[in-house]
């Protein structure tokens, strides 16, 4: 297998600067890899090979001229919903005509201004509303580690492309776990930045559950990516100012107090995920962190009771507005979502969500008081079967739970001023990666990266020859 396809962004940039490697070589290797494997994975909705090659040649010149920018020559696969001027946006839907973008999304502008090469767009579920990635329009996206499973959603195409060596970085977004779930299921690093850190496109940018963000194969890559796309933007006036630049290096975890929880207050969590999470905690303890197991008193019912009215009045209303009544043309799970959220809007006010959200936020504050960060699993299940709508739930070690309970990400969208870094924790017996979330106090981005970097050092998961999907 061509090692170029799995080089990290930081490694690429170092080699580009010395002239030991050309951006053209990496791009061509990844385009060749996509041609070889994406027929079975379905991670890309389209590639832009010609424009990418032109940018790669320009990047090669910039390295020679000494005018290289922060992400010069690094390939990035963009989530299809992140609009690119002149390109169609359809959000995987047959029920919506979509539109041709007249401007770039803020994250796209930041990437292009930093010299990145956007060479492909990645698949999502319809309107990015699901924790898996398939649709009637684009078909089923599969996980490179085990193609019987989904890469998660909604940024599943991005996660699959990274795991398969089809890109160096990928854009993602997160409103209920859409960055962190795919990162866990595909063995990548995903960052849910605190609300306002990374500018978004309206009107959904005003939804305080969501945010655009980075996905990569290493913590260093995600730090670099975050620093490029964060900061204020006149198109999104809630974007925080001044811009915060994350450090490129971090001390160890000696002296940090880290809370550990394995089930977030009673969720059913697969034993293999519990074991891998505890192993991460044990390694952090050996490295000098104080690990204390904690309990949550919130319930699954409280969390779902907070989220569903919010989703009903925001995402559900957005989809309803977009499709103009064409529910029969939706994928089955999207149709179910529209009907369910319509009923919720009729029976629950946004203030009902706010009351429950406040209770969730207060409980997280209580649990994290006296600690620097919280460590917990990213998902409850070791994978979602590819093509399954999860309408009938998901089996976890003999227990059937709702699809919404297959990931453990939602509480931290309700508490979305808290940064959360998702990093790999190991593998399950079925070959699927598992992951942990590192949750920080409000707007304390640096601490979650400090802990994440320590986990990466203690339990390395780099895509070496012996640790790659067997495609």
Same domain, 307 and 369: no
pLDDT for residue 23: 98
Same domain, 429 and 403: yes
Same domain, 265 and 317: no
Same domain, 332 and 295: no
Catalytic residues: 79, 154, 178
pLDDT for residue 461: 82
Quick check: helix, strand or coil at residue 226? helix
**Site of tokens 């227990």:** 399
Beta-strand ranges (E) seen in 123-184 are 134-135, 139-140, 169-174
Residue 467 resides in a domain? no
Distance set, CA 412 to CA 178, 191, 343, 360 (Å): 12, 12, 25, 9
Same domain, 328 and 250: no
Q: How many domains does the chain have?
A: 2
Q: Describe the strand order of the beta sheet including 44-47 as a list of residue ranges.
A: 44-47, 117-122, 75-79, 169-174, 211-216, 189-192, 420-427, 433-440, 373-377, 257-260, 290-293
Residue 268 resides in a domain? yes
Residue 13 resides in a domain? yes
Residue 190 resides in a domain? yes
Domain assignment of residue 326, given as a range: 303-347
Same domain, 37 and 144: yes
The tokens for 115 are 């010299």
Residue 469 resides in a domain? no
Residue 464 resides in a domain? no
Same domain, 211 and 233: yes
Residue 453 resides in a domain? yes
Same domain, 48 and 21: yes
Q: Which of 292, 319, 347 is the last residue of a domain?
A: 347
Q: Is residue 382 a contact partner of residue 395, using CB atoms and an 8 Å limit?
A: no
Q: Which of 347, 375, 408 is the last residue of a domain?
A: 347
Beta bridge partners of residue 173, listed in sequence order? 212
| Domain at 46, CATH number | 3.90.1300.10
Residue 119 resides in a domain? yes
Same domain, 15 and 140: yes
Q: Is residue 110 a contact partner of residue 229, using CB atoms and an 8 Å limit?
A: yes
pLDDT for residue 49: 98
Q: Which of 288, 314, 347 is the last residue of a domain?
A: 347
Same domain, 70 and 206: yes
From first to last of its 471 residues, the chain has per-residue pLDDT tens of 578 999 999 999 999 999 999 999 999 999 999 999 999 999 999 999 999 999 999 999 999 999 999 999 999 999 999 999 999 999 999 999 999 999 999 999 999 999 999 999 999 999 999 999 999 999 999 999 999 999 999 999 999 999 999 999 999 999 999 999 999 999 999 999 999 999 999 999 999 999 999 999 999 999 999 999 999 999 999 999 999 999 999 999 999 999 999 999 999 999 999 999 999 999 999 999 999 999 999 999 999 999 999 999 999 999 999 999 899 999 999 999 999 999 999 999 999 999 999 999 999 999 999 999 999 999 999 999 999 999 999 999 999 999 999 999 999 999 999 999 999 999 999 999 999 999 999 999 999 999 999 999 999 887 777 789 998
Same domain, 107 and 122: yes
Same domain, 122 and 205: yes
pLDDT for residue 464: 75
């Amino acid at each position: 297998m061509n090692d170029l396809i799995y080089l990290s962004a930081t490694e690429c940039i170092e080699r580009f600067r010395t002239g030991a490697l050309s951006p053209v070589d990496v791009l061509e290797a990844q385009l060749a890899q996509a041609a070889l494997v994406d027929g079975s994975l379905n991670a890309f909705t389209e590639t832009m090979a010609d424009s990418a090659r032109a940018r790669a040649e320009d990047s090669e010149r910039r390295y020679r001229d000494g005018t290289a920018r922060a992400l010069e020559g690094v390939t990035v696969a963009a989530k299809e919903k992140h609009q690119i001027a002149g390109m169609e946006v359809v959000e995987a839907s047959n029920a919506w005509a979509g539109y041709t973008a007249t401007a770039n999304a803020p994250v796209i502008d930041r990437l292009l201004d930093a010299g990145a090469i956007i060479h492909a767009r990645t698949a999502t579920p319809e309107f990015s509303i699901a924790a898996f990635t398939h649709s009637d329009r684009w078909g089923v996206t599969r996980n490179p580690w085990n193609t019987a499973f989904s890469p998660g959603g909604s940024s599943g195409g991005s996660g699959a492309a990274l795991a398969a060596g089809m890109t160096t970085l990928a854009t993602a977004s997160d409103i209920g776990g859409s960055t962190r779930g795919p990162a866990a299921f595909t063995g990548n690093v995903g960052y849910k930045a605190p609300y306002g850190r990374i500018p978004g496109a309206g009107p959904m940018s005003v939804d305080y559950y969501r945010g655009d963000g980075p996905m990569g194969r290493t913590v260093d890559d995600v730090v670099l990516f975050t620093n490029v796309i964060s900061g204020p933007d006149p198109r999104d006036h809630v974007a925080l100012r001044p811009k915060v630049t994350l450090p490129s290096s971090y001390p160890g975890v000696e002296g940090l107090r880290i809370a550990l929880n394995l089930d977030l207050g009673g969720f059913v969590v697969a034993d293999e995920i519990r074991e891998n999470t505890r192993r991460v905690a044990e390694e952090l303890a050996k490295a000098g962190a104080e690990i204390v197991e904690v309990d949550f008193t919130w319930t699954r019912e409280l969390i779902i009771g907070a989220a569903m009215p919010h989703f009903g009045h925001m995402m559900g209303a957005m989809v309803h507005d977009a499709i103009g009544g064409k529910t029969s043309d939706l994928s089955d799970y999207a149709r179910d979502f529209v009907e369910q959220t319509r009923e919720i809007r009729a029976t629950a006010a946004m203030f009902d969500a706010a009351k429950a959200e406040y209770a969730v936020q207060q409980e997280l504050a209580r649990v994290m008081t006296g600690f620097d960060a919280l460590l917990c699993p990213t998902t409850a299940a070791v994978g979602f079967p590819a093509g399954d709508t999860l309408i009938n739930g998901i089996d976890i070690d003999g227990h059937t739970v709702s699809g919404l309970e297959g990931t453990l990400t939602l509480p931290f969208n309700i508490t979305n001023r808290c940064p959360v870094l998702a990093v790999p924790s190991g593998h399950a017996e079925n070959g699927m990666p598992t992951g942990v979330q590192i949750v920080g106090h409000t707007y304390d981005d640096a601490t979650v990266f400090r802990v994440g970097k320590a986990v990466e050092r203690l339990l390395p998961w780099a895509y070496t020859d012996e640790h790659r999907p067997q495609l």
